[in-house]
Structure 1
Amino acid sequence: MTKGYVRTAMLMAALTALLMGVGALIGGSTGVVLALVFAGGMNAFAWWNSDKMVLRMHNARPADTRDGLELQRMVADLARRADMPVPAVFIIETEQPNAFATGRNPENAAVAATTGLLRRLSREEVAGVMAHELAHIRNYDTLIMTITATFAGAISMLANFALFFGGRRDNPLGIIGLLAMMILAPLAAALVQMAISRSREYEADRIGAEICGNPHWLADALERIQAFAARIDNNVAERNPATAHMFIINPLHAHRHDALFSTHPATENRVAALRAMAGQARPDPRAQRRTSGGPWG
């Protein structure tokens, strides 16, 4: 667990350094300060509004239907097991099985599941998915990813500003170096953001398996969601690719193997880690595998 957080901290430090470097090339020490203030303002806005914006973007509705009430009860039970506040529960109307969590902290958080997830997965598999999303909330991953996405966006905006209006002509890299930095900085920021996202997924898988009590539930769910997501479009997600990292499985038909531009680790790697975890852990008497075997609704 500590190794995962250390890696995340190092990647976030690299993202901050990149932001400061772009600011310095634009305006020297004054540019550094302005870049930090700019990123801070964007983060403050995202901290308060990102959850509402994302839920609205995906047309999420409160889980107040029959299947939604069952989902609410499940999430409440898992939250009690995780010793954390119960998040708000939403449902997204789309055939692709998937889910995500959002919110600035455990006291102000929400989880969202698609209708495809509830229709196509068993109760145990849905429980594994919801436990994974609760792990993201408990680990403050939702806040971490909001910050990294905002920093990456700020770097891209500053780089575009410099390309259009020019940076410091006396910078140590020269004009060619300045142009290269302005082009490569957004790419580097995106790569760091994706690396952070991938590292947080492994940690959420591990803790999510502990919350639901059976790693096989989550492993089975990941395999089934990946199979469905590869052939069922999520049109809203396709129109808003910046939110892809939030989902438990990439909704944009990501490559099967770990890739440079992938926001998620390879599903087979995640499943293998969960299967190994199940082999090492003593079985939880409250979490027998596949008790119902049927679909959610």
Structure 2
Amino acid sequence: MNGVFIFNKPKGVTSHDVIYMFRKKLNIKKVGHTGTLDPIATGVLPICIGKATKIAQYITAEDKEYIATMKFGIETDTLDITGNITRSDGRIPLSKEVVESLVAFKGEIYQKPPMYSAIKVNGRKLYEYARDGIEVDVKERLVKISDISLLEKVSTDTFIIKINCSSGTYIRSLIRDIGYSLNTFATMTDLVRTRSGNFNIDNSIDEIILKTSAVDDLEKSLIPIDAALNDFEAFEFPDEFYFRALNGVPFKTQADIKENKLLRLYCRNEFIAIGEYKTTEEFSGIKIKKLLIGD
């Protein structure tokens, strides 16, 4: 079995727990996920099966969409409601003020990741430092917020927002910074990832389906590897280059393709590899990035 499942992760389980669920159900060792979701979060977690684990890095890099709930007036050590309250403020912004503040976060912004995150500094994950009470200088990172809007005011201090953002964006940090921009504090109380790249929550399977369905029925929801990469342009190359490609050897072509563009490479009616078009003074052609045929 090779391909990608769109899984709707339930609250309270880790992304690694989901890997175990799929390994147990499918009796397959090669299982991986793309883009970790915290236990508090639910929603789209693409699960790569078999040879699809080779493309995880390409799926992880895709943009994401989230529905997040934020509560004003408090900040926690984890930046979500599961943590300990570290600061509080009685000021609660009006809906109009929240809407106006969100405008400043649209586009490319720098954000400081949460201390409770898996980012490594000097070989250790940040949450390990945090648990040991060690302060670490966390560098800001450039992320992109394509769109952000207020969906609903749930109560006096609680609002729901929708975010379209680049991979690597921390919604907990974003909510913290929204609070700062309004001269108060804010923490995340709920998070749903509704889309990861082209994988939409409407097309997902949930824990009940995973556990109760027969494997043959589950396989009907499996997305083929090349279909999971449908943002990449398809390129059919001549049969004469078949064995060069299988050995990872670049081959020349004068195809009308943008340089550095990632491609889905086909030959003999097979999806062979992910390739990249390169042009230099000595070479114009395709280099193999990830071979997806064979063992």
What TM-score do you get using the length of structure 2 for normalisation? 0.22
- Larger strand percent: 2
What TM-score do you get using the length of structure 1 for normalisation? 0.22
- Larger helix percent: 1
Rg larger in structure:
2
